[in-house]
Structure 1
Amino acid sequence: MEEKAKMRRLSTWKLKLRMFLATVLLFGLIYAILMVVGSILGLGGPLFYALLGFGVIFLQYLISPKIVELTMNVHYVSEAEAPRLHAMVDELARRAGIPKPRVGIAEIALPNAFAFGRTKADGRVCVTRGILNLLDEEELRAVLGHEISHIKHSDMIVMTLVSAVPLICYYIFWSTVFSRDDEANLVGIAALIAYFIGQLIVLFISRTREYYADQGSVEIGGQPHKLASALYKLVYGSAQFNRDDLKQVEGVKAFFLNDVSAAYGEIEDLRQLDMNMDGTIDLAELQRIKYGGVKVGMGARILELLSTHPNMLKRVERLSKFT
């Protein structure tokens, strides 16, 4: 038991270090771009675009909960309407040390869950109608623990802030790319390059926070093999979902537990997890992964760089370390 606790502490330290270094690199990138713009165009240029970028992000921060609610067709449920769901959220929130989030159900068939809100006190945890018909109680508890960990770690605020950096670079690019001034054109090209680099860093931070939320679920009582099994089922559920209906929620897929767009391509790889082919991942299977590892192809590793979520094989392998 002490060995597991020590390993979780070490894992937490590594995750925090990765997120800190990525964030420093991201804001260092925008600082360098703004310094170059300032030296060429004058002090008004970078200040204006910085304020514009953060203004847009602040507006997004204010209205995003309503956008998510409308896109996902969310309605909030009372304890009388969903007693089991409320009981699990209440228990996990107390374990996490945060106020109990509002509990909602999204009336979409895609099996998944998500958390959103402006602050910890404004947190909302929602499950889709599809996930309620797919997971057993302990799998659902592990999923809810993951989402509550997102609220505990203030991921909504963190991702909103880091998303501002590529946005500012994008504004600078569009404001200079059609200029007749050669120096301004060079700034525009540099801003475009910084935009793409910034996006990759934001995606890296997003993937790291998914690992962190997985670990958070384990720390507040979720069983690693139950979370792994839930993720396995969600990939299959996403892959079987109607492609046209899937497009309607792709704009908010970063909120989901897995990358629903990548699910179809992940099915073949996931067969190496379910060794007895019963549609779940049990403790014995997860422990075999712990010692035997997984095989992640080069193509999957490259695609992961462009995803908001970690490669599912790597994610399950990491969960196996907590058994």
Structure 2
Amino acid sequence: MRILLFLATNLAVLLIASITLKLLGVDRFTGQNYGNLLIYCAVFGFAGSLVSLFISKWMAKMSTGTEIISQPRTRHEQWLLQTVEQLSREAGIKMPEVGIFPAYEANAFATGWNRNDALVAVSQGLLERFSPDEVRAVLAHEIGHVANGDMVTLALIQGVVNTFVMFFARIFGTFVDKVVLKNEEGEGIGYFIATIAAELVLGILASTIVMWFSRRREFRADEAGAQLAGTRSMVGALQRLQAEQEIPVHMPDTMTAFGINGAKKASLAALFMSHPPLEERIRALLQRG
């Protein structure tokens, strides 16, 4: 299923990008026309991030097995819907879809292409082990992401990063091909090798920018959660997550940045973490008061 989702997404990106480039009259980059090159890279750079944004709810449901609560069957589901409705109203957004996904680890995520068409989901493990106040704080954190428009902003930042990685990689490839290798007969093998190598290196460096923003938005969502559910409850929820650090997180890679419980392993390089360490988040809330 994940392979099919990957193929479908990439096919949609190629189709949309090709149509857009045709309409703009920029089929591909040739020569030294850097304006056309920038347009070409921007179309492909933003196409991927925007397609992923627009289908994010569907992909989240498919990849996590989230079951949407349309008609509550238990008092716990009824409470969950009522709590999300109340928090959404206080945050000034339209109530998102609410779902539960089958996972033992405590986690939750929010996604969607705009603040009035979002999805908030919590894991079965979180519902079973967290107190009502802690679950409410987690939901408030996710509602904070939605109200802040974090999903849209992250997609736009990813689009900008993609654009300039492609742009500078192709300039570097042209330099190697024409200046270093003295190739005068179109784009040679040197261009393609240098471009791919540059994209890999620049892509790794650029991902630190995206991850920096991802960490910043977690602090902002924690603050929103504290405002909606109370600082004590928000700190309590993060402390419970901290107490469960030994439980492995099995969120799909595409959803890791959207979960409340993201980076946990100290061995990971801090620059590439999508979430700040939980102790830093707790400290920031306590300093906030």
- Among residues 307, 311, 314, which one is paired with 2:273 in the alignment? 307
Q: Which residue of 2 aligns with 1:252?
A: 255
Maintained 8 Å contact 2:106/2:261: no
* TM-score normalised by L of structure 1: 0.67
1:67 aligned residue: 59
* CA distances 1:173-216 after superposition (whole Å, capped 9, x unpaired): 3796486223796x947766653443212111111111001101
Give CA-to-partner distance per residue, 1:24-43, whole Å, 9 cap, x none: xxxxxxxxxxxxx9994543
Unaligned runs of 5+ in 1: 1-36, 266-298
Letter in 1 for 2:94: P
Equivalence for 2:25:
none
Matches of residues 142-221 of structure 1 in structure 2 within 5 Å? 142-172=137-167, 173=169, 177=173, 180-182=177-179, 188=195, 194-220=202-228
Is residue 2:105 matched to residue 1:104?
no
- For residues 226 and 169 of structure 1, do their structure 2 counterparts lie closer, same or farther at Cα, with a shift above 3 Å needed? same
Distance 2:210 2:142 in 1: 19
In the alignment, what sits opposite 1:263? 264
**Residue 283 of structure 2: aligned partner:** 317
Q: Secondary structure at the match of 1:117?
A: strand
Instruction: Tell me the secondary structure at the aligned position of residue 120 of structure 2.
Output: strand
Give TM-score, length-normalised by structure 2: 0.75
Residue 127 of structure 1, aligned match among 122, 136, 139: 122
Q: Give 2:80's aligned residue.
A: 85
- Total equivalences in the alignment: 245
Moved more, 55-64 or 205-214: 55-64
Tell me, yes or no, if the aligned pair for 2:38 and 2:163 is still in contact at 8 Å: no
Kindly report the root-mean-square deviation, in angstroms, between the aligned alpha carbons of the 2 structures.
2.9
8 Å contact kept, 1:54–1:164: yes
Residue segments in structure 2 that go unaligned for 5+ positions in a row: 1-28, 181-189
State whether residues 73 and 108 of structure 1, in contact with CA within 8 Å, keep that contact through their aligned partners in structure 2: no
Amino acid at match of 2:79: R
5 Å-filtered alignment, 1:47-62, equals 47-62=39-54
DSSP-derived class of the 1:252 partner: helix
SS in 2 for 1:133: helix
The aligned amino acid for 1:232 is: Q
Q: Which residue of 1 aligns with 2:11?
A: none
Identity of aligned residues (%): 25
Q: Is the 8 A contact 2:96 2:117 kept in 1?
A: yes
Deviates more, 1:88-97 or 1:173-182: 173-182
User: Any conservation in 2 of the 1:38–1:46 contact (CA below 8 Å)?
Assistant: no
Cα deviation for residue 141 of structure 1 reads 0.8
